[in-house]
Chains A and B, each alone.
Chain A
Amino acid sequence: MNGLLLVARREVSTQVRTRAFVIGLLVTALLVGAVSFLPKIMGGGDSYKLGLVNSQQLPLHAAAPDIEFEWRKFADEAAAKRAVLAGDVDAVLVDNARVLTDGEINTELGVLLQSVNREFKLGAAGVAIPPLEMQSVGADARYQEARQGIATVLVLLLFMLLMGQIVMVAMGVVEEKGSRIVEILLAAVRPWQLLGGKILGLGVVGLINLGTILVIGLAASSVSGLAADFPPGMVGLVVAVLVWFVLGYAFFATLSAAFASLVSRQEEVNTVLTPLTMMIMVTYFVSFYVTNEPTGTLATVLSYVPPFSSMVMPVRMAATEVPMWQVGLSMLAMALAVVVVLKIGSTVYERAVLRTGARLKFGEVLRSR
């Protein structure tokens, strides 16, 4: 165990000190922060500037909470007209009776002014009209858009991190095999410790990355006000995403190490990893498709099938409500798959990593001896 932790620690401290890691982390942090502020900067909800001449402010904001209203008072109609023509205000209410605009009034604003004015005057006259009660007979669609957006971002995040860390694992394995360090390493630690330590260490690096992104993303969204649009249960979702990353990473990283142990030169890493990267790509595309149709049959079925489940299930969880038992079942299946892959992968790694030279074949190595 000690050997495994030592190996893992070396991986973390080596990676974390590289310029690539530091710059990568800074860039993603900035990017995530910027994305969280984007909707606000792009204009987000509507807002109107209104003027008053000898009039009372109307309770427009109470009628339309999503819209911002800014009121200004003008001394006389002439000053108000100048402001309207200069574009300083969108409309001016004069004597509680007329509205001045530059050309046709914006439809939304017009309707709002008319209806609130009517209600206000009726209220003043003692006539109270109960507001219409709004009732949806379909699913709760309030967060539909937000959920889909979050799911899309998540799947992209998982995909990029998975790819990055898996290539790291492969390059590390080949570095040790090609340079023959593995021979002195294996005189000191067992193969499973070396393999496990590398996977663990680079996994921690991946989690540092993912954690930073999620924390910055959540913090920046709550500062920017974007978080107000988030569906409830975001913290639970973040935790689930971390767990799914760990499972998916364990699955693919073990295979990556096993495939990489078949070759002895860095130039061969790309080729030998092709089947694996294809598999991750397919998983990604499927999950991406699922973000558009999170309740479809494909989504439901694949959210149980490892390794697709490692990305499809978090997407489903973000996009719709998924019962706990389904999540649990899917995690169990994935965990079992990880165990199987660990067994096969470590066998191949152990047998191949000392056989330097020409590229070996996965199946042959597995069957040998």
Chain B
Amino acid sequence: MLEISELRKRFAGGPGAPGGKVALDGISFTVRPGEMFGFVGANGAGKTTTMRIVMGVLQADSGSVSWQGRPLGYDDRQRFGYMPEERGLYQKMRVAEQIEYFGRLHGLSAPAAKKATDDLLERLGLTERRGDAVQALSLGNQQRVQLAVALVHDPEVLILDEPFSGLDPIAVDALATALQERCRGGVPVIFSSHQLELVERLCDSVGIVSAGRMVASGTVADLRAAESGTLRVVVRDPAPGWADGLPGTVSVSGSRQVLLTDEGDDQEILRRAMKAGHVEHFGVEQPTLTEIFKEAVA
């Protein structure tokens, strides 16, 4: 289990901000083995800062990160897979050589690194490009190499900062499948993303961070349950003024009128609607992650 607790980080202020800038204001969350954790939040909320602290490339002012009950150390991190927000590869190095090199740095033997590299190149559709210099690849393909570098040593934990940005839909699916496979193998996966539908589709749990604090976290179902759903009623050719006095908003689209509300007596509303015209739709709509997100960070 990866436990992040009470991380705080303040960046030294420049001329514009003499007091400094609080990036993390006591962030805590845990990720269990085999759990896919979606890390979402507005720009500047503190996602990257958190992940960099977990990976040890940045020091927190206070707080702790522990893995399997012990404080996370250098040797543990060597078995983690990391994809930083700002991608970085040796531009002149060949694709396969580069992936192998990082495999070795993460402690693989030469034959093991070679085998893992071949497998990954195959899976990511890069086998033909294995001998090319990285700089000769398109941005999306470079990103695949970056991903391979994060995965080559079969990591115990995956920390990926916006791994889906810049990928085509096919690559998104390939990456999603690869992550789900690792997850099923018991690896905790944390990734940040602004593509909330994707997060909603892939993740077991979600953490919403705002201004350096975790404002909501849990499974998508839990987060939904915390929000009351919206009642949506569609009536065709209703009598004019049928919704007067009912809560919510009414919009007109052609011969239909749509009532949206999250309060009031639903049975009373249904009776009124049936009396007024032909009810085509009546139901409570679950909020999307986007809606939950907007609500949470508002």
> Do A and B share a complex?
yes
Partner-B contacts on A (CB < 8 A): 2-3, 6-7, 10, 14, 175-176, 179-190, 354, 356
Distance in angstroms between the alpha carbons of A14 and B84 in the assembled complex: 24
Interface string of B86-125 (1 = CB under 8 A from A): 1111111100000001101111000000000000000000
- Other than the given A188-B102, A190-B74, 11 more pairs (CB < 8 A) read A6-B105, A180-B88, A181-B88, A181-B89, A184-B82, A184-B149, A184-B150, A185-B105, A186-B56, A188-B106, A356-B86
- A2 proximity list for chain B (CB < 8 A): 107
Q: List 21 A-B contacts (CB under 8 A).
A: A2-B107, A6-B101, A6-B104, A14-B92, A175-B90, A176-B88, A179-B88, A179-B90, A179-B91, A180-B86, A181-B90, A183-B52, A183-B84, A187-B55, A187-B78, A188-B102, A188-B105, A188-B106, A189-B105, A354-B58, A356-B86
- Tell me if B170 is interfacial: C-beta within 8 Å of chain A: no
Q: Which residues of A contact B58 (CB under 8 A)?
A: 354
Q: Pick from B57, B87, B106: contact of A186, CB below 8 A.
A: B57
The closest CB in chain B to the CB of A190 belongs to B74
CB contacts (< 8 Å) of B101 on chain A: these are 6, 10
CB-CB under 8 A from A180, the residues of chain B are: 84, 86-88
Decide if B77 is an interface residue (CB 8 Å cutoff).
yes
Closest to B83 in A: A184
Question: Chain B, interface size: which category?
Answer: 20 to 34
A-B contact count (CB 8 A): 56
Which residues of B46-71 have CB atoms within 8 Å of chain A's CB atoms?
52, 55-58
Which B residues contact A (CB, under 8 angstroms)?
A: 52, 55-58, 74, 77-78, 80, 82-84, 86-93, 101-102, 104-107, 149-150
Q: Is the contact region of chain B dominated by helix, strand, or loop, or is it mixed?
A: loop
Closest to A18 in B: B92
Once A6-B101, A10-B101, A354-B58 are accepted as A-B contacts, the answer to whether A187 and B80 lie under 8 Å apart by CB is: yes
**Could you tell me if A184 and B104 are in contact, using CB atoms closer than 8 angstroms?**
no
Quick check: B77 and A187 within 8 Å, CB to CB?
A: yes
Please, which residues of chain A bring their CB within 8 A of the CB of B102?
184, 188
Q: How far is the CA of A187 from the CA of B82 in the complex (A)?
A: 7
B56, A187: Cβ atoms closer than 8 Å: yes
Bound complex: CA A179 to CA B142 (Å): 13
Contact at A183–B105, with CB atoms within 8 Å?
Answer: no
Q: In this complex, what residue of A is CB-closest to B87?
A: A180
For A181, A186, A188, the residue with the greatest tally of chain B CB atoms inside 10 Å of its CB is A188
Chain A residues with Cβ below 8 Å from B78 are 187-188
Structural contact, A184 and B56, CB atoms closer than 8 A: no
Q: Which 4 A-B pairs have the closest CB atoms?
A: A180-B88, A181-B88, A188-B105, A180-B86
A179/B84 in contact, CB under 8 A: no
Q: Give every chain B residue within 8 A of A187 (Cβ-Cβ).
A: 55-57, 77-78, 80, 82
Interface contact A354-B106, CB-CB below 8 Å: no
Is there contact, CB below 8 Å, between A3 and B105?
Answer: yes
With a cutoff of 8 Å between Cβ atoms, the chain B residues found around residue A186 in the complex are 56-57
Chain A residues contacting B83 (CB-CB under 8 Å) are: 184
Complex: chain B residue closest to A368, CB-CB? B12
Of residues B93, B102, B149, which shows the largest number of chain A Cβ atoms within 10 Å of its Cβ? B102
